Structure 1
Amino acid sequence: MNLQSMEQWTNLYEAAAAFKRAACWEHLSNGHIFGVQNPLNGEIGYCCVMGGGGDLYGLAVYLGTEGLETLMSMFEGDSNQDPMFTQHCLMLSFDNRTELLPAEYKQIKELGLKFRGANAWPTFRLYEPGFLPWPIENQEHVLFLTLALQQAVEVAEAYKHNPDALLEGANNTFLTRVSTGEQLNLTWSDEWIEPMPIEVVMANTADPIDELRVAKVKKSLKKIVAIWEIDCFYMPMPIDEGERPYYPMMILIVDHESGQILHFGLAEKSEVPKKMAERLFEILDKMQVIPKGIWVCNENVANYLRQLLHAFEIEAHMILELPALEEAKEGIMDHFLNG
């Protein structure tokens, strides 16, 4: 750690200590969401103060509009995925000594800091979709979380007598702390800002299909069978490979009528489009049958398979629930988690 880095980390720990002394959770609940605009890139982090329930104390800063939508879906209970796999935020939490990773404890010692007791040790983690929560390493994250903690104290103090005023933004706006001036001499003020629209990005598709292979498989097909249900989902069993442990995704294909599992297998998130199309192709080739349609509950899955479905003239139908697949999923989860 160089001197500049040590100073930035010291500032972050000091901001965490000030946040704890202010006991912001005594004034704001986790539903009193407010924004802090990052002066480095203009992105808004949406802040959620934790601790009102007496369980977990700290601050989560959800990054951008996508982070905010994940947070709101958790509140509304309409998310079909575990937030552990989908939330994108920077988080300060006050934990026990035993919950620190070795690198975090080493850093505290290097900075000459001391903490004692339960729920007294600050941890700073990055939650990113598909990855295990990990200690913050990016200096921009260090700087932004420091600012967010400082502004959280300001907001809690300003609204402690009327916190519900934070819920009164018109036209889906959120109270947002914005700054002017240089990084070392920022002046902050309040604005009510509507979240930026999310840029729609087409989900990845598989590699271009082999037309000759398609023609060969088509000739071998013998009959049309029932609907197949297809989905992919995160498995709660992190794989420790590369720089950060990640959660693999399970690709699952199930016969709707019989409940027979036609395929299940794990893949890293970026490999899912290619592997899902390849597995479906292999099933068509091996079984020499073709489904009269497929059911999916995730539009991304239909996009992954779009080229292959078009080549075999298979219709995809968006369905809210996949009954046969859900039953198979429960069995797989039980097997992996409980042995």
Structure 2
Amino acid sequence: MAIATLEQWRDLYDLADQLKERKPWQRFEDIDLIQIKLPEYREAFTCSIMGKQEFCPGISLHYGIEGYSDVVMLMESGDFPVPSTYVMGDIHALTCYYGDQEELDDVQMQRIQELGRSYQGSMDWTYFLSFEPRYSPSDLSLEEVKRCTLVFKALIRVLDCLQEEPEKWPDFENKEILRATILDTGEMSMESILMPEPFPRYKMIELPEDLKQSLKEKPIEDLELALDLNYLFAPVHDPDYDRPLNPLVLMAYDLRTDFIVHAHLLALEDDEVECLIAMFMELIEEIGRPAKLYIRNPTIYYALESLCYQIEIPIQIDALEELDEIYEHLRERI
């Protein structure tokens, strides 16, 4: 992985600190989206400004339609009691945080010292993380530093323009977003547009009729089955990859007996929905249909909703807090 020079990091930190001085989270909710189209990139960046709700302030960048769809998924994740470990583990994002000193790792602390930066107090320390599904949050690569630098330059222009011309403020409450376009000449245009349709985020599997009929004929057993997908956020270093892996676990759990029926650590090349369907059908074949299925993860819910309706397995959305302790034990063992 190509690494940015100290001077390239200095430019990025200068811009990030200029944004921090403007405190955009005092005016923006994290769902008030700004899209920035740069001449250097084919697709736009979607910017989300965090911190209005007294959480850690920051700015996240999401590239292209895939990144925008991740933002929509984050906005809609409140419909399910899905843990933040899954939500944050399954997105593409470049994020600048303004946090506390203890949140920084040794590399980030050393870089700040080398840059001669001075931060003090809570929610003041500037640091960056790159998020990618199946990988642990990592330091920015050279390309990612370049992307953040260009976007932050444009974002500062956008914020200053909104300060001077408040009539350009979008109607965020009615599903508008602000789109800023930087031309090759350096000129910038801004317009309010309706939120685009996201890329389909969840896969839905349709089984052959004979297979669904076979599953439907299996007896209903005294089993309250919980199915879950979750990231462990315990970095696994593999020399074949240039960033640490973030283990993704597929789990089936019997809530009545407090027993793990099945647990599978997905490989990087595994498709989680295909693994889910295969495991679910195998459990029904071996044990029978569960009396009720408990789910908190939207990926699982949308993959199984239609099938469960057709084979008469009731689904209930539940926080499944009893699973969190199991994941903690798994995390400690990796």
TM norm. shorter chain > 0.5: yes
- Say which SS state the counterpart of residue 241 (structure 1) adopts: coil
Taking a change above 3 Å as real, the CA distance of residues 199 and 106 of structure 1, as seen in their structure-2 partners, is same
- Report matched runs for 1:246-285 at 5 Å: 246-254=246-254, 261=259, 263-268=261-266, 270=270, 272-273=272-273, 275-276=275-276, 279-280=279-280, 283=283
CA offset at residue 133 of structure 1? 2.6
Taking a change above 3 Å as real, the CA distance of residues 173 and 261 of structure 1, as seen in their structure-2 partners, is same
For residue 224 of structure 1, the aligned residue among 201, 219, 223 is: 219
Q: Which moved more, 1:242-251 or 1:168-177?
A: 168-177
Q: Which residue of 2 aligns with 1:33?
A: 33
Give the greater-gyration-radius structure (CA).
Answer: 1
> How far apart, in 2, do the equivalents of 1:259 and 1:299 lie?
25
- Whether the 8 Å CA contact 1:35–1:45 is kept in 2: the answer is yes
Alignment deviations for residues 237-282 of structure 1 (CA, whole Å, 9 cap, x no partner): 5242333241422321548xx5674613142273645654554566
CA offset at residue 90 of structure 1? 1.7
- Whether the 8 Å CA contact 1:173–1:194 is kept in 2: the answer is yes
Q: Which residue of 2 aligns with 1:10?
A: 10
Alignment deviations for residues 33-87 of structure 1 (CA, whole Å, 9 cap, x no partner): 322124333333332333445552332224432123034225xx32442344324
- Whether the 8 Å CA contact 1:86–1:130 is kept in 2: the answer is no
- Whether the 8 Å CA contact 2:31–2:75 is kept in 1: the answer is no
Q: Which residue of 1 aligns with 2:178?
A: 175
For residue 240 of structure 1, the aligned residue among 218, 236, 239 is: 236
> How far apart, in 1, do the equivalents of 2:113 and 2:151 lie?
24
Taking a change above 3 Å as real, the CA distance of residues 158 and 224 of structure 1, as seen in their structure-2 partners, is same
Q: Which residue of 2 aligns with 1:85?
A: 86
Q: Which residue of 1 aligns with 2:208?
A: none
With CA pairs under 8 Å and 6+ residues apart, which has the higher RCO, 1 or 2? Answer: 2
- Whether the 8 Å CA contact 2:35–2:178 is kept in 1: the answer is yes
CA offset at residue 7 of structure 1? 4.2
Taking a change above 3 Å as real, the CA distance of residues 332 and 79 of structure 1, as seen in their structure-2 partners, is closer
Is 1:330 the counterpart of 2:325 in the alignment?
no
- Report matched runs for 1:93-104 at 5 Å: 93-104=97-108
> How far apart, in 1, do the equivalents of 2:254 and 2:48 lie?
39
Taking a change above 3 Å as real, the CA distance of residues 167 and 72 of structure 1, as seen in their structure-2 partners, is farther
> How far apart, in 2, do the equivalents of 1:120 and 1:195 lie?
32
CA offset at residue 189 of structure 1? 1.6
> How far apart, in 1, do the equivalents of 2:251 and 2:138 lie?
25
Taking a change above 3 Å as real, the CA distance of residues 162 and 73 of structure 1, as seen in their structure-2 partners, is farther
> How far apart, in 2, do the equivalents of 1:231 and 1:293 lie?
13
Alignment deviations for residues 180-234 of structure 1 (CA, whole Å, 9 cap, x no partner): 10xxx633221334444334478498xxxxxxxx9xxx9xxx9723376452221
Q: Which residue of 1 aligns with 2:49?
A: 49
Taking a change above 3 Å as real, the CA distance of residues 172 and 3 of structure 1, as seen in their structure-2 partners, is closer
Taking a change above 3 Å as real, the CA distance of residues 11 and 73 of structure 1, as seen in their structure-2 partners, is same
- Say which SS state the counterpart of residue 132 (structure 1) adopts: strand
- Whether the 8 Å CA contact 2:293–2:315 is kept in 1: the answer is no
- Aligned amino acid, residue 56 of structure 2: L
Q: Which residue of 1 aligns with 2:141?
A: 137
CA offset at residue 145 of structure 1? 1.7
Structure 1 alignment gaps of length 5 or more: 206-213
Q: How many residues align?
A: 308
Is 1:291 the counterpart of 2:289 in the alignment?
yes
Taking a change above 3 Å as real, the CA distance of residues 337 and 21 of structure 1, as seen in their structure-2 partners, is same
- Whether the 8 Å CA contact 1:293–1:315 is kept in 2: the answer is no
CA offset at residue 113 of structure 1? 3.2
- Report matched runs for 1:158-173 at 5 Å: 158-160=161-163, 166-168=169-171, 172-173=175-176
> How far apart, in 2, do the equivalents of 1:48 and 1:274 lie?
32
Aligned-residue RMSD, C-alpha = 4.4
